[in-house]
Chains A and B, each alone.
Chain A
Amino acid sequence: MSKERHVVIIYPHPDDESFGSAGTIIKMREEGTPVTYLCGTSGNMGRNMGFPPIANRESLAKIREAELDEACRILDCDLRMLGYLDKTMEFEDKMEVAKHLKGLIEEINPSLVITYHPLYGVHPDHNAIAAATIEALRMIDPDKRPKMWARPVERNYREILGEPDVTYDVRDNFERKMEAIAAHHSQADGILGDMLRKAKLDETVMEEAMEVLGVEDYYVWDFAD
Chain B
Amino acid sequence: MKPIELNTVQEQLDQFLNKPVYIHVETTNGAYASHFGDEAFNVGAYVRNAQVKYSQAKIVGAKGDSFRVGLKLEYGWVYAEGLTDWELFEGDKLLMAGHDPAGRLLVALEISETPFGTNNRRD
Contacts and interface: CB of A to CB of B under 8 A. Distances in A.
Interface stretch (A21-29, A77-85, A164-172): A77-85
Contacts of A122: 31-32, 35
A215 to B, nearest CB: 18
A57 B119 contact: no
Given A48-B103, A56-B87, 4 more contacts: A44-B120, A51-B102, A84-B120, A155-B35
A56 B1 CA distance: 7
Contact of B104 (A41, A47, A79): A47
Contact of B106 (A47, A53, A86): A47
Nearest to A60: B105
Contacts of A50: 103
B108 to A, nearest CB: 5
A41 B120 contact: yes
Main secondary structure of the interface of A (DSSP, over half): loop
A53 B31 contact: no
Contacts of A44: 120
20 contacts: A42-B120, A47-B105, A48-B105, A51-B102, A51-B103, A53-B85, A57-B26, A57-B108, A58-B93, A58-B116, A61-B117, A65-B121, A82-B122, A83-B119, A83-B122, A85-B118, A122-B32, A124-B31, A153-B35, A190-B104
Nearest to A153: B35
B79 to A, nearest CB: 18
B46 to A, nearest CB: 7
Interface in A36-84: 41-42, 44-45, 47-53, 56-59, 61, 65, 79-84
Interface centre among A45, A80, A82 (most CB of B within 10 A): A45
A158 interface: no
Given A57-B108, A122-B35, A49 B99 contact: yes
Interface of A: 41-42, 44-45, 47-53, 56-59, 61, 65, 79-87, 122-125, 153, 155, 190
Contacts of A124: 31
A47 B28 contact: yes
Contacts of A190: 102-104
Contacts of A51: 102-103
Contacts of A86: 120
Given A57-B95, A58-B95, A61-B117, A80 B123 contact: yes
> Which 8 pairs across A and B sit closest by C-beta, in order of nearness?
A83-B122, A42-B120, A51-B103, A81-B121, A53-B103, A80-B123, A47-B105, A47-B104
Interface centre among B24, B46, B123 (most CB of A within 10 A): B123
Nearest to B106: A47
Contact of A56 (B30, B97, B117, B118): B97
Interface string B77-109: 000000001010110010101010011111010
